[in-house]
Amino acid sequence: MTAPERELQGPDLPPAARILPSWVETAVTTPLVELARCFSDLDGRVLAKLEMAGPGGSSRVRVAQRLLIDARMAGRLSPYQTLLVRGDQAPGMVQAGLILGHPALVVVGPDTPNEALAQFEVFGADVEVATDHDLDACIASMVRCTGGFPVDVDTDPSNYRAHRLGTGAEIVRQSRGRVNAFCAHVHSGGTFEGCAAVLEELDPRIRSHTVRLAGTPGPLPEQIDPRRVARAFDIEAKAAQAQVQRMARKEGILIGLEAGAVLAAARSLLEGPLPGSTIAVVLDGDSQVPGLRAKQTADDAASDSLADAA
C-alpha cells in the first residue's frame, strides 16, 4: 500500500485538505455559505454557517468532542470511563465517546420508541430504562452503581466553549470579519452565547439576536448574557415554514423549522432596521434519533395540558 503524501497529513491544513484520524474531526470546519439566491430580493447579505453539514447533521458532535476533551484535560473524566447520558442528548455524544474511547450508557424513559433504542444499540451503547420517567434520578443512581461520568450537555460550560472556540471563531475567519449582525436559534444557549461573545470581541457594534419559535415556553437560558441580545425574535411557525420552502427552492438546501425561523429573523432585519447589512446566521440540524423527538414533543405537550388543567 502506498503511504499518503506527507502534505495530506499536516495538522496545520484544513480538514478538507488532509487525511483525518476519525469521522469526528469533520466537525471542524463547517462551511459558511452566502444565501445569495434566497435573499436576492433584499439589499444585504446573509452568510449561513451550516452546522447541519457537520457529522450527524448538527453541531452535537462538535460540542460532544469539546466536552469530552475538556473533561479529560481537567481530570474529571478518566480514560475509558463510561458516559451516562440522557436519550435526548445521546446523539453526537455516543459517537464522540466511541472515537475517544468512552463507552456510553444511555438512560431513556419507558415509552422510548424501539427505533430509538435500536439506533443507540447499533453504536454499541448500553440502554437503561428509567421506569419512573425520572431520568436524572436514574443517572444519579447509575453514577453510584457504576462510577460512570454523568453528562449534561445543556449545562456544561464546554457547550459554550465549543462554539466560542469553534463555530464563532470560524465565522470570523471565513467572513474575514465582515459581519454587521448575527442570529441563532436558542436551545441551551451555547451556540448563541459562544458566537456572540467572539463577534462582540471582534467589533462591539455587531448586534446579536436570539431566535425561537413562537410559543416556546420559559425565559432565555441562564447561559445567555442578556446584554448581548439586541433583540429576541419569536417567529411564527408559518413564517419559518415559508423560509424552509424558499431555501429548498432557491438554494437547494433542506432545513428544519428552527433554521427557517433564523432565516425569517434575518429577513426581518434586512427589511427593517438593518438594510444593506451582512448578517451571519447559524443553521443547525436536529440529530435526534427518529421518533424520539416526536415522542418527547408529545410528552411535553401532555405535561403542558396537565399543568394548564391544574
Domain boundaries, the chain: 6-59+156-283, 61-155
Out of 55-59, 239-243, 262-266, least confident range: 55-59
Q: How far is the C-alpha of 140 from the C-alpha of 132, rounded, in Å? A: 14
CATH class of 6-59+156-283: alpha beta
Question: Alpha helix locations (H) across the chain?
Answer: 60-73, 90-100, 114-122, 135-146, 157-162, 168-175, 190-202, 237-250, 257-271, 292-309
User: With 80 as the cut, is the pLDDT of residue 308 above it?
Assistant: no
User: With 80 as the cut, is the pLDDT of residue 105 above it?
Assistant: yes
User: With 90 as the cut, is the pLDDT of residue 291 above it?
Assistant: no
Burial 115-131 (b: 16+ CB within 10 A, else e): ebbebbeeeebebbbbe
Nine cell digits for residue 146: 457504576
Query: What is the pTM assigned to this prediction?
Result: 0.86
CATH classification for the domain delimited by 61-155, as one of 3.30.1700.10, 3.40.50.1100, 3.40.50.10860, 3.30.300.30: 3.40.50.1100
pLDDT at residue number 299 = 46
Give the pLDDT band of residue 28 (cuts 50, 70, 90). Answer: confident
Tallying the residues shown for the chain, one arrives at: 310
User: With 60 as the cut, is the pLDDT of residue 254 above it?
Assistant: yes
Q: How far is the C-alpha of 14 from the C-alpha of 30, rounded, in Å? A: 11
Q: Report the pLDDT averaged over residues 272-285.
A: 96
Give the pLDDT band of residue 14 (cuts 50, 70, 90). Answer: low
Q: How far is the C-alpha of 105 from the C-alpha of 143, rounded, in Å? A: 11
pLDDT at residue number 288 = 52
Q: Report the pLDDT averaged over residues 47-73.
A: 95
For residue 159, the SS3 value is helix
Q: Is the peptide bond before 29 cis (omega within 30 degrees of 0)?
A: yes
Nine cell digits for residue 222: 441562564
